[in-house]
Amino acid sequence: MGSNGGQAGTHTYQSLTEDALFGSMEPPRRPTGRLVMHSLAMFGREFCYAVEAAYVTPVLLSVGLPESLYSVVWLLSPILGFLLQPVVGSASDHCQSRWGRRRPYILTLGIMMLLGMALYLNGDAVVSALILNPRRKLVWAISVTMIGVVLFDFAADFIDGPIKAYLFDVCSHRDKERGLHYHALFTGVGGALGYLLGAIDWAHLELGRVLGTEFQVMFFFSALMLTLCFIIHLCSIPEAPLRDVAKDISPQQAPQDPSLSSDRMCKYGSTEKAKNGYVNPELAMQGRKNKSPAEQAQRVMTMKSLLRALVNMPPHYRCLCISHLIGWTAFLSNMLFFTDFMGQIVYRGDPYSAHNSTEFLIYERGVEVGCWGLCINSVFSSLYSYFQKALVPYIGLKGLYFMGYLLFGLGTGFIGLFPNVYSTLVLCTLFGIMSSTLYTVPFNLMAEYHLAEEKERRQAPGWSSDSSGTERGKGVDCATLTCMVQLAQILVGSGLGFLVNTAGSVIVVVITASTVALIGCCFVAVFVRYVG
């Protein structure tokens, strides 16, 4: 990993879809069916997320997790994701697997999600069957359940970046926009079905009696749904592997210059030429000679170089990441505490009363109604994702971004000031607008940035069909954007508990969400760059 571009062993990584070795090419237009298949990963992921949201607190309470460990459970996963996600995003940019660059990471993270669900939904039952000593059983049940929750959260949060980068790699700019809308659509549908599944009283149904408990029923459906969705997703659109161009060039075609012949050039992409193994050796060598040392290699990043790249990222990328952080901080502040808000504030129940008391039963009823509110949020998120495409020509991405933050801020503020069952359920539709906005608009803007940068490279003096400019790694960009979700979780998990304890009421949660969203509304209007 020396500093000279012509040093032996250096690898060059560039997107084949924009690479001059194959001319100015775009990936072929993808059929709607393929984009739908690609989007099913988001359906399976959000379905399992909804099941976790409905059951993880009862599971943790049932195994006897001390309150002092709650913060560890909710903070460990986002901290790991925030630190590791950009590193893995960079690694996926340079992955040389024969199966492609993103799919090996998606498969690994999908297996981790499945394992995490198995541990936190079934860990207590397995430990109870294997260990008889009550004290040891308690320790092992808590440990296994905590590991399962952290593993699932880590993988489920992490997997969004590779999925988005996979879409960006294999689709044209127009198909990227269509694919992102399908992603948001199926995210909402998956969440709605997951919440509906959790609302069913499986303990009194035959399937619940056969499998043992409702936790095992949830695992059965979640594991089945996740496995099917990810198999379909991974078979949706083929990725071409990172190619070693040096192996495609015969000794007679290789240049005599030792510094050039010793270099190994790797290309990646997803077009049919790459998949069929076509490489033009003359253009490969000619393009190599025309490049300056700074353009010849985009090396595999070390942690130090990655941090430097993140710090020195273009200002418009940084502003987009900040706006995404603000949006997710507001959204998670409301969503993570919403059912508790319904139980304590709207229904005036008491979660700390005896479990057979009227106050506790009222609280449980509020939590159930809160789950229906989250289901409304997911359904409306899907509907709004569908209508976004019709709104873009009229108000643009800036209008969508601004409107999503504004409506969410006003809606949560109204809920906090005037808590009422029916108005709160109606305003849950605004949560869906915010959810859909966060899943689509920032990634649409990133696709616009990539397209604009490509056009600038083509219009730059000295650019020719035999040269290709340096390109920001899409994996790093997507990972950097999605790791803002983990940072938002860290801020919410570490800060809101303190605010609730200080205010003495969870009503401060929705007021905080409203305030942060309105601040974000101003930020996206003033600081975020919109292309075109």
pLDDT, tens only, 68-113: 666 677 778 888 877 777 777 777 777 888 888 889 999 999 999 9
Compute CA 56 distance to the chain's CA centroid, rounded to the nearest angstrom.
Answer: 20
Give the whole-number percent of the chain exceeding pLDDT 70. Answer: 77
Q: What is the pLDDT of residue 176?
A: 87
Model pLDDT, residue 310: 65
- Regarding the domain delimited by 29-240, which CATH topology (the fold level of the hierarchy) does it fall under? Growth Hormone; Chain: A; (1.20.1250)
Distance CA 357, CA 355 (A): 6
Q: Does CATH place domain 309-456+474-531 in 1.10.3720.10?
A: no
Per residue, the 3-state secondary structure of 126-176, as one string, reads HHHHHCCCHHHHHHHHHHHHHHHHHHHHHHHHHCHHHHHHHHHHHCCHHHH
Residue with tokens 């695992």: 219
Residue type, 363: Y
- Give me the pLDDT at residue 463, please: 59
Q: Are 404 and 325 in contact (CB under 8 A)?
A: no
Nearest to 92 by CA among 165, 151, 38: 165
Lowest mean pLDDT, pick from 131-135, 200-204, 223-227, 395-399: 200-204
State pLDDT tens for residues 110-124.
999 999 999 988 888
The more confidently predicted of residues 172 and 271 is 172
- DSSP 8-state class, residue 267: E
Instruction: Please give the residue that has the higher pLDDT: either 138 or 10.
Output: 138
**pLDDT-derived band at 241, boundaries 50, 70, 90:** confident
Mean pLDDT along residues 301-329: 79
**327 or 494, greater pLDDT:** 327
> Which range among 12-26, 351-365, 367-381 shows the weakest confidence by mean pLDDT?
12-26
DSSP type of residue 30: P
Give the pLDDT score at 282: 39
Banded pLDDT at 531 (limits 50, 70, 90)? confident
Q: Do domains 29-240 and 309-456+474-531 have the same CATH topology?
A: yes
Top pLDDT among 316 and 472 is at 316
| Dist CA 351 CA 44 (whole Å) | 31
What is the mean pLDDT of the segment spanning 481-503? 81
Strand segments, DSSP code E, in 291-415 are none
The two three-digit tokens of residue 310, written as one number: 């993140």
From CA 149, how far away is CA 147, in angstroms rounded?
A: 6
Over pLDDT 90: what percentage of the chain?
24
**How far is Cα 451 from Cα 463, in angstroms, rounded to an integer?**
16
Provide the residue count of the chain: 532
Q: Give the integer Cα–Cα distance in Å for 517 and 484.
A: 15
- The whole-number pLDDT of residue 247 equals 46
pLDDT per residue as tens digits for the range 128-186: 888 878 888 888 888 898 899 889 988 988 888 889 889 988 888 888 888 888 998 89
**C-alpha 415 chain-centroid distance:** 28
Task: Please give the pLDDT value at position 355.
Answer: 67
Cα 41 to Cα 234: distance, rounded to the nearest angstrom: 8
- Packed helices 358-417 and 507-526: angle between N→C axes, nearest 10 degrees: 30
Residue 328 in this model has a pLDDT that exceeds 90: yes
Residues contacting 416, CB < 8 A, separation 6+ = 507, 510, 511, 514
Q: List the domain boundaries for the chain.
A: 29-240, 309-456+474-531
In the predicted structure, residue 198 carries a pLDDT above the cut 90: no
- How many angstroms separate the CA atoms of 472 and 476, rounded? 8
Q: Which two tokens stand for residue 372?
A: 């229906």
Q: Give the list of residues 6+ apart from residue 119 with CB closer than 8 angstroms, or none.
A: 144, 145, 147, 148, 151, 152
Ramachandran area for residue 462 (φ above 0: left; ψ -120 to 50: alpha; else beta) = left
On the question of pLDDT at 331 being above 50, the answer is yes
What pTM value is reported for the model? 0.70
Q: How confident is the model at residue 227 (pLDDT cuts 50, 70, 90)?
A: very high
Q: Tell me the mean pLDDT in the region 198-223.
A: 80
Mean pLDDT on 286-315: 54
